[in-house]
Amino acid sequence: MKFKKILYLIFIFFFAFSNASGNESFTFDVTEIEILEEGNKFLGKNGGKAITENGITIYAENFEYNKLKNILYANTKVKVEDKSNNITIYTDKITYLKNDEIIFTQDKSKLIKKNIIISARSFEFNRSLNRFIAEGKVNINDRDNDFFAQSEKITYFINNEEIITTGKTTATIDSKYEFYGSDITILRNKQELFSKNKSKIVDKNLTQYEFDHYVYFFK
C-alpha cells in the first residue's frame, strides 16, 4: 500500500512538472495512468481530475488525452468546473477540443450557473464565444425570473444572458401562466421574453390569450 502511494505521488509530480516545463494544456491528477504511443497518448483510470491553464477543472473516472491533437476525452461521473464563467457542468461523457476551446457533452447533461439550471441530452460549449448550445429535451429552470421552459434546442449567449429557443417551446411563467409557442428569446438581464411567432398563453383561470407576436416583462 505504501509503495502504491509513493508511485502515485511520483506520477502526479511527473505530469505536473512535464506540463509546466513543456507548456502542455492539461495537468493530470489521477489514481492510475497508462502512457502509450511514445508519450503522445495518456490514459487516466479509476478517478481523478484534469486541470487547464485557463481555470477549468474536469473530474471524471476515466480520461484519454491525445497530445498531438490536443483533445481530451472523459467519461463516467464527469464534472466540469469553469471558474471564469461561474459554470458547472455534469454529464456522462465529454470531448474537449482544447485548440478550439469547445467542449461537447453526451448523455444526461446539466449546466448550473448561479440561479439558472439547464438540462438536455447534449451540450456544445464554445468558450471562445461564450456560447452554449443544448439539444434534446431541453429544460430551462430560471429561478431569478420564476421561469421554466422546455424545447428541443436552445442557444445561450452567456455574456449577454440571452437565451434563444429553436422550434416548439412550452413554458411556465411566474408560476401562473402557461405559454405555448416557438422560437422565443429570453433576455435575463432585462427580464423580458418575446417572440415574433404566433403564441398562446393560458392563465390559472384557464383564460386563453392568443398573439401573433408579443413581449412579456417578468416584473
Q: Report the predicted TM-score, pTM, of the whole model to 2 decimal places.
A: 0.84
Q: How far apart are CA 122 and CA 200, in angstroms?
A: 29
Give every residue of the chain whose pLDDT is below 50, as ranges.
1-11, 13-23
Question: Which pLDDT does position 68 carry in this prediction?
Answer: 93
Question: Which pLDDT does position 142 carry in this prediction?
Answer: 93
What pLDDT, in 10s, does the model give residues 98-134?
A: 999 999 999 889 999 988 999 999 999 999 999 999 9
Question: Which pLDDT does position 2 carry in this prediction?
Answer: 42
Exposure string of 21-36, with b = 16+ CB inside 10 Å and e = fewer, is eeebbbbbbbeebeee
Question: Which pLDDT does position 7 carry in this prediction?
Answer: 43
Set of cell numbers at residue 202: 393560458
Question: Which pLDDT does position 24 carry in this prediction?
Answer: 61
Set of cell numbers at residue 88: 458547472
Question: Which pLDDT does position 138 carry in this prediction?
Answer: 97
